[in-house]
Amino acid sequence: MKRRSFIKKSSLASAAAISIPFILPSGRLFAASGMRMADHVVLVAFAGGVRQQESILQRYLDDSQSYPSSGNILYNLFDGSAPTDKIVYGTNNIINGDTPIPKILSQTLQNQGTTFREVNASAVGHYAGVNAMLTGNYMYTQGLRNKPTMPTIFEYLRRHQGEKATKTWFVGNGIGNSIPLLDYSTHADYGASYGANFLAPTITFGSDGEKHLKNAKVY
């Protein structure tokens, strides 16, 4: 998208957002979008960090290991040729990660939208990123091991769409750190009554779950 076109469309969208109420007159949180394609929605968060040098700069190992191997390892996101040497970011064949995962998009996301090559933020941690994704708000002062201060997508769904708790699940890869805290916020108008069920399969169905649940009884 051309820079001028992007700025124009962004300005129009911002003006519309100011004039449209947060909750639509129909009582819905979002406008109707036609017939739904499925009775469920799965939102996937890929944990971990993506550094500028390996992503938009496409430096690969040039900077981090001073090894002359540059290239684009995010070929579904950005344009550019992939590295040809010391491949360790794919699936396993002979050594760990030596086989790049096949490209799944015929057109990169860079060509389908607008790429911001440089973004400055005061908080760029993993928890801040997942928090922003689930709440739609970037919390500059949100600390670790604190529940979100703004409502999560789970709370919006349950309060405004009337979904049951048994149909709203937040699945994590463990119970440590701050991830389990993202099932609901501390917002006065939402909170635990509209939260999601949290499940960590590696715990529930792993050795910890076996240890504590295998002898469980129904009283």
Give pLDDT, residue 17.
43
The tens digit of pLDDT for each residue in 160-216 reads 999 999 999 999 888 888 889 999 999 999 999 999 999 999 999 999 888 888 888
More confident residue, 4 or 134: 134
Q: Would you say residue 27 has pLDDT above 80? A: no
Average pLDDT over every residue of 142-162: 91
By C-alpha distance, which of 178, 176, 183 is closest to 143? 178
Give pLDDT, residue 18.
40
Give pLDDT, residue 19.
40
Give pLDDT, residue 107.
93
Domain boundaries, the chain: 45-119, 122-205
Q: pLDDT-based confidence at 2, cuts 50/70/90?
A: low
d(CA 130, CA 142): 12
> Can you state the angle between helices 126-135 and 153-161, rounded to 10 degrees?
20
Number of other residues whose CB lies within 10 A of the CB of residue 187: 16
Burial of 188: CB neighbours in 10 Å, binned 0-12, 13-18, 19+: exposed
Average pLDDT over every residue of 129-155: 87
Is the CA virtual torsion 109, 110, 116, 117 positive or negative?
A: positive
Please indicate, yes or no, whether the overall pTM of this predicted structure exceeds 0.95.
Answer: no
Residue type at 169 in one-letter notation: W
Mean pLDDT of the chain: 82
Burial of 194: CB neighbours in 10 Å, binned 0-12, 13-18, 19+: buried
Give pLDDT, residue 197.
96
Phi/psi for 97 (5° steps) reads 75, 15
The tens digit of pLDDT for each residue in 92-104 reads 888 888 888 889 9
Average pLDDT over every residue of 65-70: 88
| Alpha-carbon dihedral angle through residues 120, 123, 129, 131, given to the nearest 10 degrees | -130
Give pLDDT, residue 85.
87
Q: For the chain, what percent of residues have pLDDT higher than 70?
A: 80
The tens digit of pLDDT for each residue in 107-123 reads 998 998 888 887 776 66
Give pLDDT, residue 162.
93
